[in-house]
């Protein structure tokens, strides 16, 4: 059974966080991709995950340089698990062996870095010993990230190659001697390739050169002829021997490759396990680095179903604000099974608070730290956020239609310990029926073992036994004189920003019978809607009362 749907993961901001964490290795990326949420009952495992996170957080705090070097080591790691598996029945190529050696050197580096840091890390992060295999692939033990079937791999190979090089030199020496003889004898100079090109128009020269016994005509056309050095019997003999040696060398190289491949296979289990360990280290380290950079804390897990957030920040909104150089106003909220409503001013951040609850709950269950001063979480079996989006319009459904479709999904999937987040349901239909529907839904949810959080503008929804009412402070405490002064000369964008500046986004608990403050007209006015319209609206309001 799944915890949430795709839309909930993206709307709450979980996807954003997952994309923001900087996993560097292919193994870490694999680990991130296969992430599964922790469900109620998994508290011990989740606490263990948090403990590992804390462990690496401590490493990052105390040894920032170690972490930096680790990340540098992770940077160009390649996933060669296929090569490792291939070693079972195949001879690995030189390039593949090079890649194995590179990987081994990286593993050695990771082990050394962790040892040097003096931090005793959990078993999960400690790589298994691979030095024996590394020694096999690096017989010279110079630990350079280069590879070749070096002479040192076998005495035979070294001997064969040495002999071949000697022969090459002998051939060249022999050719050089002949070249010199020709040059002194006939006064011509051959190219480094031991050839000589003559233009046919110089008939006399061609004739003379043809007479030289050490040269033989090679490439020829109607204008020129290239003479090349004739091989002496001695040279021919040397070349024949070289060819034979080449064959032997190739066979010997293949033998070494086969032996090395067998060694790799012998270690394949260890190698693959180490890859997983690196993935785990990379994944959790990047979570730790992210948590540090975003001021996230470990949520306290509790057995009961509840969500208590102190000073929570929605990471996506916070990022946008910080780009504009603006502070974020943290929000606190405490939720238990039953229905809680958030009411309050327009532009008061009700929806953001709703998403914040979703994000904190989701992050916890996916094993992340949470962007709060502190948080207490009891895990949920099902999390769903119902929020208007543009996608439903693209699908051709009216906003009300798609809302109802999704509400049905929620009702069908909910079970005990569900977290249901609903943003202004039924606001797209007539207020009479909308209100009735919302009230009835609240009544239904109230009796279920769900944590339901609903934002709404309908006053009377919030009235009733077992319904908790939270309100946005909004502009209640704002200095309206100053606000108006500032607004007077502002342009459109500035108006919004000024209102945001005076807005108090914090939530507070209100009694059921308290009336919801009516700020809509005020805000419409601040945003420059004509007085005529605002005044008439006020008149209608009074008439209605």
Closest distance to other proteins from the beta carbon of 507 (Å): 49
- Report residue 258 as tokens: 């086969």
Sheet of 418-423, strand order:
382-386, 418-423, 450-455, 338-343, 467-474, 504-510
CB 80 within 8 A of CB 99: yes
CB 26 within 8 A of CB 79: yes
Q: Is 487 in the site for other proteins (CB under 8 A)?
A: no
CB 474 within 8 A of CB 517: yes
User: Which runs of E-coded beta strand occur in 172-273?
Assistant: 195-199, 215-220, 224-229
Using the minimum distance from each CB to other proteins, give the nearer residue, 168 or 319: 168
CB 3 within 8 A of CB 271: no
Phi-psi sector, 141: left (phi>0), alpha (psi -120 to 50), beta: left
Task: Select from 76, 273, 389, 405 the one that contacts other proteins (CB under 8 A).
Answer: 76
Closest distance to other proteins from the beta carbon of 157 (Å): 11
Q: Is 98 in the site for other proteins (CB under 8 A)?
A: yes
Task: Select from 35, 95, 393, 529 the one that contacts other proteins (CB under 8 A).
Answer: 95
Using the minimum distance from each CB to other proteins, give the nearer residue, 147 or 508: 147
Using the minimum distance from each CB to other proteins, give the nearer residue, 147 or 400: 147
Strands 467-474 and 338-343: what pairing? parallel
CB 413 within 8 A of CB 384: yes
Q: Is 326 in the site for other proteins (CB under 8 A)?
A: no
Q: Is 502 in the site for other proteins (CB under 8 A)?
A: no
Binders of other proteins among residues 172 to 201 (CB under 8 A) are 189, 191-193, 196-197, 199, 201
Dump the DSSP string for 487-519. HHT--HHHHHHHHHHH-EEEEEEE-TTSPPP--
Closest distance to other proteins from the beta carbon of 85 (Å): 19
Using the minimum distance from each CB to other proteins, give the nearer residue, 161 or 384: 161
Task: Select from 221, 465, 513, 515 the one that contacts other proteins (CB under 8 A).
Answer: 221
Using the minimum distance from each CB to other proteins, give the nearer residue, 175 or 364: 175
Contacts of 342 (CB under 8 A, 6+ apart): 350, 353, 354, 453, 454, 455, 456, 470, 471, 472, 507
Distance from C-alpha of 95 to C-alpha of 147, rounded to nearest angstrom: 8
Q: Is 241 in the site for other proteins (CB under 8 A)?
A: no
Closest distance to other proteins from the beta carbon of 310 (Å): 46
Residue owning tokens 């807005």: 503
Which of 26, 118, 11, 37 has the alpha carbon at shortest distance from 368? 37
Using the minimum distance from each CB to other proteins, give the nearer residue, 201 or 430: 201
Interface region with other proteins, contact rule CB under 8 A, candidates 118-126, 142-150, 233-241, 449-457: 142-150
DSSP lists the bridge partners of residue 508 as 471
Using the minimum distance from each CB to other proteins, give the nearer residue, 6 or 223: 223
Task: Select from 47, 122, 170, 226 the one that contacts other proteins (CB under 8 A).
Answer: 226
Using the minimum distance from each CB to other proteins, give the nearer residue, 76 or 484: 76
What is the size of the binding site for other proteins (CB under 8 A)?
31
Q: Is 99 in the site for other proteins (CB under 8 A)?
A: yes
Please give the residue ranges that form the binding site for other proteins (CB under 8 A).
76, 78, 93-95, 98-99, 102, 145-150, 161, 164-165, 168, 189, 191-193, 196-197, 199, 201, 221-224, 226
């Amino acid at each position: 059974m799944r915890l949430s749907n795709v839309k909930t993961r993206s709307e709450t901001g979980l996807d954003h966080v997952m994309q923001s964490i900087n996993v560097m290795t292919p193994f870490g990326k694999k680990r991130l991709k296969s992430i599964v949420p922790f469900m109620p009952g998994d508290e011990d495992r989740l606490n263990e995950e948090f403990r590992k996170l804390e462990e690496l957080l401590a490493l990052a705090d105390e040894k920032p340089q170690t972490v930096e070097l680790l990340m540098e080591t992770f940077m160009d790691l390649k996933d060669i698990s296929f090569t490792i598996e291939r070693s079972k029945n195949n001879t690995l190529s030189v390039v593949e062996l090079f890649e194995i050696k590179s990987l081994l050197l990286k593993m050695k580096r990771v082990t050394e870095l962790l040892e040097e840091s003096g931090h005793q890390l959990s078993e999960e992060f400690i790589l298994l010993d691979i030095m024996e295999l590394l020694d096999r692939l690096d017989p010279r033990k110079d630990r350079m990230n280069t590879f070749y079937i070096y002479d040192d791999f076998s005495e035979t190979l070294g001997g064969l190659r040495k002999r071949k090089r000697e022969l090459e030199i002998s051939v060249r020496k022999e050719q050089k001697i002949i070249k010199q003889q020709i040059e002194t004898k006939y006064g011509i100079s051959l190219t480094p390739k031991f050839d000589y090109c003559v233009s046919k128009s110089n008939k006399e020269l061609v004739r003379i050169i043809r007479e030289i016994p050490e040269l033989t005509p090679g490439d020829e056309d109607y204008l020129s002829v290239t003479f090349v050095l004739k091989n002496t019997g001695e040279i021919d003999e040397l070349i024949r021997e070289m060819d034979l040696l080449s064959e032997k060398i190739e066979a010997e190289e293949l033998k070494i490759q086969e032996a090395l491949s067998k060694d790799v296979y012998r270690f394949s289990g260890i190698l693959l396990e180490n890859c997983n360990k690196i993935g785990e280290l990379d994944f959790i380290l990047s979570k730790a680095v992210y948590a540090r950079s975003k001021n996230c804390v470990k949520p306290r897990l509790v057995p009961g179903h509840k969500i208590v957030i102190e000073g929570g920040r929605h990471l996506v909104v916070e990022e946008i604000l910080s780009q504009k150089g603006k502070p974020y106003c943290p929000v606190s909220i405490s939720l238990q099974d039953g229905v809680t409503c958030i009411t309050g001013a327009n532009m008061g951040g009700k929806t953001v608070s709703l998403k914040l609850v979703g994000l904190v709950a989701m992050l916890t269950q996916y094993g992340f730290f949470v962007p709060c001063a502190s948080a207490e979480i009891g895990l949920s079996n099902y999390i769903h956020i119902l929020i208007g989006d543009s996608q439903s319009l693209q699908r051709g459904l009216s906003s009300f239609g798609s809302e109802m479709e999704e509400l049905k999904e929620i009702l069908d999937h909910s079970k005990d310990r569900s977290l249901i987040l609903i943003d202004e349901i039924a606001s797209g239909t007539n207020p009479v029926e909308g209100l009735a529907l919302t009230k009835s839904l609240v009544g239904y949810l109230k009796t279920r073992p769900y944590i339901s959080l609903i934002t709404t503008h309908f006053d009377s929804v919030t009235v009733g036994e077992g319904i908790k009412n939270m309100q946005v402070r909004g502009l209640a405490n704002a200095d309206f004189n100053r606000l108006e002064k500032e607004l007077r000369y502002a342009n459109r964008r500035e108006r919004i920003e000024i209102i945001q500046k005076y807005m108090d986004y914090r939530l507070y608990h209100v009694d059921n019978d308290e009336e919801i403050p009516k700020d809509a007209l005020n805000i419409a006015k601040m945003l420059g809607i004509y007085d005529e319209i605002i005044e008439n609206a006020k008149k209608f309001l009074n008439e209605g009362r």
